[in-house]
Amino acid sequence: MINEIKKPEPIKYYIVRNNENKIMAYGVVGQNQQMQTGQPIMDTYLNEIDWQNVLLEEGIELEEEGSHGFAGVNYQNFKV
Amino acid sequence: MANNINFGKIYDSTWWGVGVTSNTINWGKSYLDLAGGGDERFIITVKTDNAGTSATNQFTIPTNGTGYNYDITTSDGQTILANTEDTTIEFPTAGTYDVFISGSFPQCYFNNVGDAQKLLDIKNFGIYALGSTSQERAFFGCSNMVISATDIGHFENVTSFFLAWRDCSSLTSFPLLDTSSGDNFAFAWRDCSSLTSFPLLDTSSGNNFGYAWRDCSSLTSFPLLDTSSGISFFQAWQDCSSLTSFPLLDTSSGISFFQAWLSCSSLTSFPANAFDTNIATNYTDSFNTTNLSTQSIDDILVSLVASGVLNGTFNQSGGQAPSATGQNAITTLLGRGWTIATTA
């Protein structure tokens, strides 16, 4: 089964996981986007803070950096 | 090589040194290189009353670590010998002066502090970087600096260019230095926002290109660099907002393309087969806020299929949506566990 978010209004945040509940991807889908995942589990969020808190609980820290990054978000856990 | 040189004419003392009183110049020692012709002094122009930490009639040469034993002469006639660390030069009045450095001088270390904004021009690299393996933070923050030098210094042994020219926002071009030993180019040219072109540097040893050209917002083209050893392309070209196309680079060793082309808002054309042999799974936000054509987004998705990689992530926003060709590629990628977001 393919999980999908298509042209959401308002925008939606997502976290997808594999069968071991490991986070495989996360992000935000804008109003002119569609997102699909081949992973079995997808949680969606309307509130960015709720989404960030779940990621934080899993050790994924997002860094705000003004105009840079999509939706003002940089992904600090990905190092250079 | 003789120290007395009859030029036949008197040269401008601001370039050729001080003490020019006749057609015969007594240099004390020769600054002409053994290859014959080039001036081996590191020559810079400074404006003492630009913002900085030294007084408005001073300039501080910033150093880092050991390996320094350098002499200074200045265009106002000063000589300061045997310097081994930072040196503050005091001029009679605030103004613009040339500073001539000879001897051993591995690197400047402006690091976005001190008198970075007082440096106006590198007129000649000469002995600069001879024997150096690191140029980390060398000219970081030299936002008023241009490079008019026509020589290339001695960068051949430098392995790290980390932050070397970050925020050199007055550079419109960059010289063809020998960067063949460089493995770390992270942040090297970030925020060089006036660069309109980039030379075909030898980056074949580079493994870290993270943030390397981020915010080079005036670049209208990018050369076919050898990036085949690159492991990180994290935000490498983010916000290169004047790029309309991109070359077919070899990024096959890359692991992270996180936000690599994010906000390249003019990027319409991206080559086919770009990722065919790649091993990376992380293309998160790689093409968000771009302007990709249908052909280009299709080509990218088809190339990700060709890579055969499982469980990856890929994001595109802006530009055109994939056609049926791209949608078919997405279907294949979903079957391989990918998470894909595209323009709809």
Inter-chain contact A33–B344, Cβ cutoff 8 Å? yes
- Phi and psi for B296 in degrees, rounded to 5? -70, -45
pLDDT at B30: 52
Alpha helix stretches (DSSP H) within chain A: 48-57
Residue B195 lies in a domain: yes
pLDDT digit string, tens, across residues A10-44: 999 999 999 999 999 999 999 999 999 999 999 99
Give residue B223's pLDDT. 98
* In the block, residue with structure tokens 């804008």: A30
Query: Which pLDDT score is estimated for A1?
Result: 73
pLDDT at A75: 40
Q: Is the pLDDT of residue B86 over 60?
A: yes
ipTM of this complex? 0.83
Note whether B340 contacts A35, CB cutoff 8 Å.
yes
Is residue B286 included in any domain, yes or no?
A: yes
What is the Cα–Cα distance from B162 to A18, expressed in whole angstroms? 37
Q: Given B263, B315, B339, which is nearest A24 (Cβ)? A: B339
- Give pLDDT, residue B23: 39
DSSP conformation class of B232: B
Q: Are B338 and A38 in contact (CB under 8 A)?
A: yes
Q: What's the pLDDT score for residue B56?
A: 98
Residue A61 is predicted with a pLDDT of: 86
Asked if A34 and B285 come within 8 Å (Cβ–Cβ), the reply is no
DSSP state of B161: -
Q: How confident is the model at residue B38 (pLDDT cuts 50, 70, 90)?
A: confident
Q: Is any Cβ of chain B less than 8 angstroms from the Cβ of A32?
A: yes
CA distance B270 to A71: 24
> What mean pLDDT is reported for chain B?
91
Q: How many of the other CB atoms lie within 10 Å of CB of A4?
A: 12
Integer Cα distance of B199 and A10 in angstroms: 44
The position carrying tokens 């990054």 is A69
Residue B193 has pLDDT above 70, yes or no: yes
Contact B288, B315 (CB under 8 A): yes
**Residue B150 included in any domain:** no
Interchain contact, B315 vs A27, CB within 8 Å: yes
Q: How far is B281 from chain A (nearest CA, A)?
A: 10
Q: How confident is the model at residue B37 (pLDDT cuts 50, 70, 90)?
A: low
Select from B305, B270, B304 the least CA-distant residue to B290.
Answer: B270
The whole-number pLDDT of residue B24 equals 38
- Domain contains B91: no
Report which residue type is found at B144: N
Structure tokens at B21: 């009183």
3-state DSSP: chain B helix, strand, coil percent, rounded to 5?
10, 20, 70
pLDDT tens-digit readout, B114-140: 999 999 999 999 999 999 999 999 999
Q: Judge whether residue A72 has pLDDT over 80.
A: no
Phi/psi for B125 (5° steps) reads -80, -40
- Asked, for residue B110, whether it belongs to a domain, the answer is no
Token duo for residue B317: 């926003």
Residue of A nearest to B332 (CA): A38
Mean pLDDT of B302-320: 98
Give the pLDDT mean for B230-247: 98
Q: For residue A45, which of A56, A33, A53 has the smallest C-alpha distance?
A: A53
In a domain, B190, yes or no: yes
Residue B188 lies in a domain: yes
Distance separating alpha carbons of residues A65 and B306, to the nearest angstrom = 35
Task: Tally C-beta pairs within 8 A across A and B.
Answer: 84
A76 token code pair: 């600090």
pLDDT of residue B32: 52
Torsion of CA B219, B225, B229, B232, to 10 degrees: 10
Select the more confidently predicted residue: A42 or A65.
A42
Task: Give the mean pLDDT of B87-99.
Answer: 98
Residue B108 has pLDDT above 70, yes or no: yes
Whether A7 sits inside 8 A of B344 (CB atoms) is yes
- Do the Cβ atoms of B151 and B126 come closer than 8 Å? yes
Count of domains observed in chain B: 2
Whether B5 shows a pLDDT value over 80: the answer reads: no
| Residues B287 and B300 sit within 8 Å (Cβ to Cβ) | yes
> Does residue B31 carry a pLDDT above 80?
no
Contacts of B327 in chain A (CB under 8 A): none
- Asked whether residue B122 is domain-assigned, the answer is no
Q: Is A53 helix (H, G, I), strand (E, B) or coil?
A: helix
Q: Which domain holds residue B17?
A: 1-33
Angle between helices B294-307 and B324-335 (to 10 degrees): 30
Q: Where do we find the tokens 């180019």?
A: B185
